[in-house]
A and B are shown apart, each in its own frame.
Chain A
Amino acid sequence: MKYRITHETHYTYSKPVTSCYNLAHLSPRNSNRQVCSSSSVNVQPGVANSIERDDFFGNKVHYFTVHTPHDSLTVTAVSEVEISHPGNLLDAAFPIPWNEVRNTLMRSARSEDMDARQYLLESPFVSLNPDLHKYAQASFDSGRPVLEAVHDLMDRIHNDFDYDPHITTIATPLSEVFAHRKGVCQDFAHLAISCLISHGVPARYVSGYLETIPPPGQKRMRGADASHAWFSVYVPDFGWVDFDPTNNQIPMERHITTAWGRDYGDVTPLKGVIFGGGKEHKLNVSVDVEAMDNVVV
Chain B
Amino acid sequence: MTASGNSMSDPTPTASMDDPALCKSCSFVQDVHNEMCDKPGKLRPHWEYFGRALDAMGRDELVRRDREARRLIRDNDVTYNIYTDPQGIGRPWDLDLIPLLIGSEEWSSIEAGLVQRAELLNLVLEDLYGPRKLISAGILPPELVYSSPSFLRPCHGIQREDGRYLHLYAADLARTAEGEFQVIADRTQAPSGAGYALENRIVLSRVMPSLFRDSHVHRLASFFRTMRNTLNSLAAEPEKEPLIVLLSPGVGNESYFEHAYLANYLGYTLVQGGDMTVRDGRVWLKTLDSLQQVDVILRRVDDEYCDPVELRDDSFLGVPGLLQVVRDGKVTISNPLGSGVLQNSALMAFIPQISRYFFGEDLRLNNVRTWWCGREDDRKYVLANLEQLVLKPSIAVDKQRTIFGANLSAEERNELIHKINARPYLFTAQSQVTLSAAPVLQQNASLDSRHVVMRSYLTAQDESYIVMPGALTRVSATRDSFMVSSQHGGASKDTWVLASEPEKQDTLIMPTPHAVQKNPLGGDVPSRVADNMFWLGRYTERAEGIVRLLRVVQLYLADSPLDSASEPRSLFALHQLLRAVSQITKLTPGFIGQDADQRLASPEQELLSVIVDRSRQGSLSQTLSALLVAARSIRDRLSMDTLRVINDIDVELNSIQQSVMHHLNDADDELDNLITALVGFSGLINENMSHEQGWRFLEIGRRVERALHTTTLIRSTLTFASKQVEYSELLESVLRVTDSLMTYKRNFLQGFEVSSLLNLTLLNEANPRSVGYQLLRIQEHVAYLPVDRSSQQLSAEERLILELLTKLRLSDLADLVSINEDLSSRVELDRMLEHIQQQLSVLSNMMTTAYFQKEEQIQQLVRMRPGSAE
Contacts and interface: CB of A to CB of B under 8 A. Distances in A.
B94 interface: no
Nearest to A272: B861
A127 to B, nearest CB: 4
A152 B860 CA distance: 39
A65 B866 contact: no
Interface stretch (A19-27, A208-216, A239-247): A19-27
A117 interface: yes
B687 interface: no
B519 to A, nearest CB: 25
Contacts of A270: 861-862
Given A49-B280, A114-B135, A171 B142 contact: no
A21 B856 contact: no
Contact of B861 (A53, A67, A170, A271): A271
A111 B860 CA distance: 37
B52 to A, nearest CB: 59
A161 interface: no
B857 A275 contact: yes
A48 B279 contact: yes
B859 A128 contact: no
A176 B324 CA distance: 36
Interface in B391-446: 422-423, 425
Interface in A87-132: 109, 111, 114-115, 117-118, 120-122, 124-125, 127-129
Contact of B856 (A170, A173, A265, A276): A276
A264 B138 CA distance: 30
A103 to B, nearest CB: 11
Binding site secondary structure of chain A: mixed
Nearest to A130: B870
Interface residues of B, number: 43
A121 B147 contact: yes
Given A51-B324, A275-B856, A172 B867 contact: yes
Contacts of A115: 142
A162 B321 CA distance: 39
A128 B862 contact: no
A173 B864 contact: no
Given A122-B423, A271-B313, A109 B870 contact: no
Contacts of A56: 153-154, 156-157
Contacts of B870: 127, 129, 173-175
A18 interface: yes
Interface in A234-272: 263-266, 268, 270-272
Interface string B309-327: 1100100000011001001
Interface in A274-295: 274-277, 281
A128 B418 CA distance: 14
Nearest to A198: B422
B142 A127 contact: no
A128 B859 CA distance: 30
A174 to B, nearest CB: 8
Contacts of A275: 855-858
Given A21-B309, A23-B310, A118 B856 contact: no
A268 B313 CA distance: 12
A55 B154 contact: yes
A21 B278 contact: yes
A33 to B, nearest CB: 25
Given A23-B310, A48-B279, A67-B279, A55 B866 contact: no
A63 interface: yes
A152 B593 CA distance: 74
Contacts of A173: 866-870
Contacts of B855: 18, 275
B143 A117 contact: yes
B138 A109 contact: yes
B359 interface: no
A297 interface: no
Interface string A44-62: 0000110101111100000
Contact of B864 (A122, A171, A174, A277): A171
Contacts of A171: 863-867
B795 to A, nearest CB: 23
A242 B42 CA distance: 74
A31 B511 CA distance: 57
B308 interface: yes
Nearest to B319: A21
A128 B135 CA distance: 25
B146 A63 contact: no
Contacts of A18: 855-856
Interface in B830-870: 855-870
Contact of A21 (B153, B154, B320, B328): B320
B153 A55 contact: yes
A27 B154 CA distance: 18
Interface string B131-143: 0000110100011
User: Which among B280, B321, B858, B860 has the highest number of chain A CB atoms within 10 Å?
Assistant: B321
Nearest to B855: A275
A217 B855 CA distance: 55
A20 B153 CA distance: 22
B680 interface: no
A20 B861 contact: yes
B281 interface: yes
A263 B278 CA distance: 28
Nearest to A120: B143
Contacts of A55: 153-154, 156
Given A48-B279, A49-B281, A63-B324, A273 B866 contact: no
Contacts of B425: 121
Given A23-B310, A121-B147, A127-B869, A271 B279 contact: no
Contacts of A51: 324, 328
B379 to A, nearest CB: 14
Contact of A170 (B142, B279, B859, B862): B862
A111 B136 CA distance: 7
Contacts of A63: 309, 321, 324
A263 B859 CA distance: 23
Residue in A11, A120, A275 with the greatest tally of chain B CB atoms within 10 Å? A275
Interface string B216-248: 000000000000000000000000000000000
A14 to B, nearest CB: 12
A174 B867 CA distance: 8
Most buried by B among A65, A174, A265, A273: A273
Closest 8 CB pairs of A and B: A173-B867, A276-B856, A127-B869, A118-B146, A56-B153, A21-B320, A56-B156, A21-B321
Interface of A: 11, 18, 20-23, 48-49, 51, 53-57, 63, 65, 67, 109, 111, 114-115, 117-118, 120-122, 124-125, 127-129, 170-176, 263-266, 268, 270-277, 281
Given A121-B146, A171-B866, A173-B869, 20 more contacts: A18-B856, A21-B309, A56-B153, A56-B157, A57-B153, A121-B143, A122-B423, A124-B866, A129-B870, A173-B870, A265-B866, A266-B153, A268-B864, A271-B313, A272-B309, A273-B308, A274-B860, A275-B855, A275-B857, A281-B861
Interface of B: 135-136, 138, 142-143, 146-147, 153-154, 156-157, 278-281, 308-310, 313, 320-321, 324, 327-328, 422-423, 425, 855-870
28 contacts: A11-B861, A21-B309, A21-B321, A48-B279, A48-B280, A55-B153, A55-B156, A56-B154, A56-B157, A117-B146, A118-B146, A122-B147, A127-B869, A170-B864, A171-B865, A172-B867, A173-B869, A263-B866, A264-B864, A266-B153, A268-B862, A268-B864, A271-B861, A273-B309, A273-B860, A273-B861, A274-B859, A276-B857
